Amino acid sequence: MKQNSFRMIVLGTDTDAGKSTFSLLWLAHFGSTWGYWKPFQTGSPDSEKIRQALPEVKVYPAIQHFAEAVAPALAAQNVGQTIPSVQAVVASQPQVSEPYLIETFGGPFSPLNHSELQIELVRALEYPSILVSSSAVGAIGRVVGQVKAMRSEGFSPRAIVLIGPHDPYAEREITKHLGIKVFSLPQPTLWSSSEYRSLAKSSAVTLDSLHDYLFAESSFEQRSPNDLIPRDQKVVWHPYTSLRDAQPPLEVVSSHQEFLQLADGRKVIDAFSSWWTILHGHCYPPLMQTLREVSMNLDHVVFAGATHRYAVEVAERLLKQTRWPKQGRAFFSDNGSTAIEVALKLAYLCWSRRGEKQRSLFIGFENGYHGDTFGAMSISRDPIYFGEIEPMLLRAIQIPLCPNRLDETLKTKGSEVAGVVIEPLVQGAGGMQMHTPQTLQEIQNICRSHGVFFIADEIMTAFRTGEFWAHQAAVDVNPDLICLSKTLTGGVLPLAVTLASPEIVQYFDTPDRSKSFFHGHSFTGNPLACALAARNLELVDRGDWKKEVRRIQSVWNQFLPELQSHPAVREVRSLGTILAVEVHASGGYLAEVGPRFRTLALERGVFLRPLGNVLYAMPPLQTSQQSLEKIIYAIQGCLQTLE
Ligand SMILES: *Cc1c(COP(=O)(O)O)cnc(C)c1O
């Protein structure tokens, strides 16, 4: 177990809840090993009380102390000072390996400074916390109310401590309503060192069991990686991973901004946004807040014959980004692959209803990737991923991504073709291969001239290139069907949508019920996922994300010449938040360098998952400057081994 996990935050339901009493009892019992830190103090300092009562306890100096016995933020203001930000307080924690408890002031929602509440500091510190309350009349209401308020802020104490006469009814009720364990400690009658010591002695069993509860049973570290990984390897089948993979999976215990916190204490940069899903950053507060709020009242509800405001809002916001905001339609599904299936079915059904049932052929492009369901596999037909399953695939052909080749193909096979599917500007899984907006424009124009549907797979490209849709970089590209998934909910929950133009919709807009679109999944239009998508699209509408794309791109641009000139590098490709470095190596997707690069990058604190000989990064929008540079440094480290 890590030493610094032995830190604990003491919160109180209010000012006189008994925080100092708890600290004194805890330290009287554990004081030879535990220290004490109260970052902000007003009036007669608690640190001094601890020092006098328990001289053996190591007391760390407060960040600020004010003589006036009012809230720290007010006391500071009255003497013309300010309380530092959450970030600054986090940075000034005593850097010691010994355990210590951190005592807060007032209640969790007391103001910390002019803009932040204390709860934000508590959340940022990420240590186990206990909530102390007096056991006097009203304890149940005080504790339940306070914890529910804290939970709506994404935070929950690990245990409750009631101070005062033992009240088994209150203990039971609190646990019943909150699912949190309650511990009871007595209230000293005298303020004296010997009184605290003797009460701590008589409460030793309770104090020890609280200690074990916080730091043993309930802690993640207890399940060491040595235990979980072998269990995982016996029962779990991971995607796109050999069952004999030499590299064990990373055990992730929490995620935050661009980081994954691993069980063994390492914190690594998620440089590929968890398979391109995470848009802003992990546990992005506005999205997590939405998830908490909506999940209080709504779980999953059927989407056939029922609806909810979140789905409607997502459909409206997405259609607003197309040329047919009023006549188009949004069809929901659960993942990128099914969004593609929906597009293929809709395209074919249109032809069938026009009396051209022979048009069951789709055209995809070499290096394309559209998902792992049958229709999706058929249009990309990657020989490594899907070669063995070839006999089961649908009718589709792959051609080089070149307007002339498309034109030739449509001239010969045009009467059989239903549509053409493309990843606009960047073919992701095919190795971050890029083409220009002009090429995309010409491809659309050729589809139009042959009268076949033009289907944009924006599942990876939406937002990543700096435009809402990557295809908006071209002057006049207006797909008939647009598929979106990965970042739609900001990456928090799975959701996908297929947007259909009025030309498609008209074939289904009939009183004949046999002409409905017979497609749907159990979880279609899941309200929680839709609420997240609605919130995400609202955030996206404000436009600040474009600045973040430009910021990331400018860091990539700085390093392009250097990466490009490296002798091991075949080509560097970059667009928006995407940076791809293709090295000279044989083996394509299965290239030996891939797993080796993964290990080398991890040693530098960066989690990469190379696509064979293509090392790439596509970090979340909020990735810090320092992390972007670390990603570059990790890529350079990989290249050095090829010199
Ligand atoms: C990931 C991806 C898909 C498939 O989405 P899933 O949610 O993984 O099924 C389809 N198309 C593109 C371009 C993708 O990147």
Q: What is the pLDDT of residues 470-493, one digit of tens each?
A: 999 999 999 999 999 999 999 999
Atom of ligand 1 at shortest range from CA of 486? 7
| CB distance 39 to ligand 1 below 6 Å | no
Q: Whose CA is nearest to atom 5 of ligand 1?
A: 336
Q: Which helix (H) or strand (E) holds 253?
A: strand 252-256
Q: What is the mean pLDDT of residues 77-91?
A: 94
- For 280-379, strand residue ranges (E) read 329-333, 361-365
Q: What is the mean pLDDT of residues 82-87?
A: 94
Q: Which helix (H) or strand (E) holds 384?
A: helix 383-386
Residue 352 structure tokens: 């069938």
For the chain, give the number of residues: 643
DSSP 227: H
C-alpha count within 13 angstroms, C-beta hemisphere, residue 91: 5
Q: What is the mean pLDDT of residues 505-528?
A: 96
CB-CB contact of 31 with 153 (8 Å): no
pLDDT at 611 over 80: yes
Distance from C-alpha of 210 to C-alpha of 160, rounded to nearest angstrom: 10
Q: How far is the CA of 403 from the centre of ligand 1 (A)?
A: 24
Q: How far is the CA of 342 from the centre of ligand 1 (A)?
A: 13
Q: Which amino acid is at 93?
A: Q
pLDDT at 60 over 70: yes
User: 298-541: what fold?
Assistant: Aspartate Aminotransferase; domain 2 (3.40.640)
Q: How would residue 265 be classed by pLDDT, with cut points 50, 70 and 90?
A: low
Q: Is 486 annotated in the active site?
A: yes
Domain edges within the chain: 3-221, 228-282+545-640, 298-541
Q: Is 457 annotated in the active site?
A: yes
Residue 1: predicted pLDDT: 32
| CB distance 457 to ligand 1 below 6 Å | yes
Q: Which of 270, 486, 589, 630 is catalytic?
A: 486
What lies within 8 Å, CB to CB, of 83 at 6+ separation is: 40, 64, 72, 73, 76, 112, 113
- 3-state DSSP assignment of residue 346: helix
pLDDT at 407 over 90: yes
Specify the residue for token string 């992005």: 284
Q: How far is the CA of 153 from the centre of ligand 1 (A)?
A: 33
**What are the C-alpha distances in Å from 573 to residues 58, 428, 436, 590?**
55, 12, 12, 20
Domain 3-221 annotated CATH 3.40.50.300: yes
| CB distance 328 to ligand 1 below 6 Å | no
CB-CB contact of 282 with 487 (8 Å): no
Between 124 and 491, where is the model more confident?
491
Q: How far is the CA of 336 from the centre of ligand 1 (A)?
A: 4
pLDDT at 499 over 90: yes
Q: How would residue 621 be classed by pLDDT, with cut points 50, 70 and 90?
A: very high
Q: How far is the CA of 230 from the centre of ligand 1 (A)?
A: 30
Residue 600 structure tokens: 């080398």
Q: Which of 16, 148, 240, 515 is catalytic?
A: 240
User: 228-282+545-640: what fold?
Assistant: Aspartate Aminotransferase, domain 1 (3.90.1150)
Pocket probe for ligand 1: among 335, 337, 422, 483, the residue whose CB has the most ligand atoms within 8 Å is 337
Among 446, 237, 443, 167, smallest CA distance to 457 is for 443
- Looking only at the bridges linking them, the beta strands covering 7-12 and 181-185 are unpaired
Sign of the dihedral defined by the CA atoms of residues 132, 135, 137, 139, in that order: positive
Residue 223: predicted pLDDT: 40
| CB distance 459 to ligand 1 below 6 Å | yes
> In 135-203, which ranges are continuous DSSP H helix?
139-151, 168-178, 193-202
Residue 154: predicted pLDDT: 66
Chain center to CA of 496: 17
Residue 112 structure tokens: 């910390």
Can you spell out the DSSP letters for 87-145? Answer: HHHHHTS---SS-EEEE--S-TTSB-SSS-BHHHHHHHH---EEEEEE-STTHHHHHHH
Specify the residue for token string 């190379």: 610
Atom of ligand 1 at shortest range from CA of 429? 15
